[in-house]
């Protein structure tokens, strides 16, 4: 089975605190008729600090969409490669071992995708497959894991690199004065995260079953208006209550796997806001402590969109991981309204099997080279042996 290995996460060096955010709102929108409500909502997010790619003075200026997108591209190219390198090291794989790169981002646009630039500049094979995911918003982290899982089920010896690059601060629109927009200005942060899904071996979450769920007729609850000035984030006031509609999907997926969603050992879920986590506790009937990794991400980094699930999972790794075969769920929530969910067990890397290593040696001795997509034991043994060595 495929294993989601430890993510690597990086946040920019510029930090803004909640108090600074509140003071900016008071000063910038002093005559806003709903300012007291906005301030209260920002306080209730529980977000103490956020990281942004530019100093706050530059963030609050809008130089136009062309310049904004140029900043997105430059910052992505500067910040993604070192995070990719750390993720590969965590998974104990090399660049030539990667068969697919999944790139998720909803805060800028590039074509060709950053995947092409990574292949050209970082030494990935030129036959590496590319899968950019651009329009699933915060759910895209879960979707990336699920598509990597699907790929490894089709090609059991394959390895997938997931890259999430979210610079939410580049979406700031000074003319958007709706309560939802002003709340977003105090909620979202920037981050880059990467993780490898290994088809064989690896320590982390052994992926077992994934699923998706779309809440009907909620397309306009989370959306972008694409205008001359770029992406304008639109957030409906009904969004915080969506867990009543999405929790049953988590319960149903677990039930299909003969698991009880209320009795799992770890939960890595998208922290869109405190209400999301509070409601999940209620509807899944679990203690609030079970979501402390997601809540820590929200408190220290804000809503970092598709990177939330990777940051929360990294916190589980930093805490020593889970016990062998511990059961858990990873879930991302975003526009649609969409849930992307995956079930898995904690697994620890096992040494390569000697018999498979012997099969590899025999294959090499006769000059046979198994194909990348060929389900040959010798090919799997080669990959496993290199990683465990």
Give the residue numbers marked as catalytic.
Answer: 138
Sign of the alpha-carbon torsion through 117, 14, 109, 243: positive
User: Nearest-5° angle of CA 76, CA 81, CA 82?
Assistant: 115
Closest CA to 195 of 166, 165, 160, 158: 160
DSSP code at position 288: G
Closest CA to 162 of 102, 222, 118, 216: 102
Question: What are the E-state strand segments in the chain?
Answer: 3-4, 8-10, 14-17, 49-52, 100-104, 129-133, 159-167, 190-198, 204-218, 222-227, 230-235, 266-269, 327-334, 336-347
C-alpha 153/C-alpha 149 separation (Å) is 6
What are the structure tokens assigned to 357, written together?
């290593």
Instruction: Tell the residue number behind the tokens 């899982």, with chain if given.
Output: 149
Local structure of 245: helix, strand or coil:
helix
Q: Output the CA torsion 375→103→203→339 (10° steps).
A: -100
Closest CA to 169 of 9, 21, 338: 21
Local structure of 78: helix, strand or coil:
helix
C-alpha 73/C-alpha 249 separation (Å) is 36
CA distances from 389 to 197, 383, 385 (A): 19, 10, 6
């Amino acid at each position: 089975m495929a294993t989601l290995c430890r993510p690597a996460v990086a946040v920019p060096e510029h930090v803004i605190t909640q108090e600074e955010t509140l003071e900016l709102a008071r000063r910038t929108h002093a005559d806003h008729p709903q300012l007291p409500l906005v301030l209260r909502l920002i306080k209730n997010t529980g977000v103490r600090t956020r990281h942004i790619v530019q100093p706050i003075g530059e963030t609050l200026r809008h130089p136009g969409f062309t310049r904004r997108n140029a900043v997105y591209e430059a910052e992505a190219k500067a910040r993604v490669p070192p995070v990719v390198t750390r993720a590969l090291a965590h998974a104990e794989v090399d660049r030539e071992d990667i068969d697919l790169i999944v790139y998720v981002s909803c805060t800028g646009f590039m074509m060709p995708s950053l995947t092409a630039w990574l292949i050209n500049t970082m030494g990935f094979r030129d036959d590496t497959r590319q899968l950019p995911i651009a329009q699933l918003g915060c759910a895209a982290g879960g979707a990336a894991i699920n598509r990597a899982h699907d790929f490894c089920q089709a090609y059991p010896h394959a390895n997938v690199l997931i890259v999430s690059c979210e610079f939410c601060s580049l979406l700031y629109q000074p003319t958007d004065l709706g309560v939802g927009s002003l709340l977003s200005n105090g909620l979202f942060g920037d981050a880059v995260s990467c993780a490898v899904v290994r088809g064989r071996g690896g320590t982390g979450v052994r992926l077992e079953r994934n699923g998706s769920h779309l809440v009907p007729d909620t397309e306009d609850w989370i959306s972008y208006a694409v205008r001359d000035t770029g992406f304008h984030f639109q957030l409906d006031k009904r969004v915080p209550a969506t867990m009543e509609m999405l929790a049953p999907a988590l319960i149903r997926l677990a039930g299909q796997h003969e698991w009880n969603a209320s009795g799992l050992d770890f939960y890595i879920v998208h922290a869109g806001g405190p209400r999301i986590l509070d409601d999940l506790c209620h509807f899944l009937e679990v203690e609030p402590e079970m979501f402390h990794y997601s809540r820590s991400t929200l408190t220290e980094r804000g809503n970092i969109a598709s990177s939330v699930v990777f940051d929360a999972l990294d916190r589980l790794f930093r805490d020593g991981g889970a016990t062998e075969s511990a059961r858990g769920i990873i879930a991302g929530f975003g526009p649609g309204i969409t849930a992307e969910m995956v079930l898995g067990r904690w697994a620890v890397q096992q040494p390569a099997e000697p018999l498979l290593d012997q099969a590899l040696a025999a294959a090499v001795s006769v000059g046979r080279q198994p194909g990348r997509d060929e389900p040959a034991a010798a090919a799997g043994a080669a990959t496993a042996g290199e990683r465990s060595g």
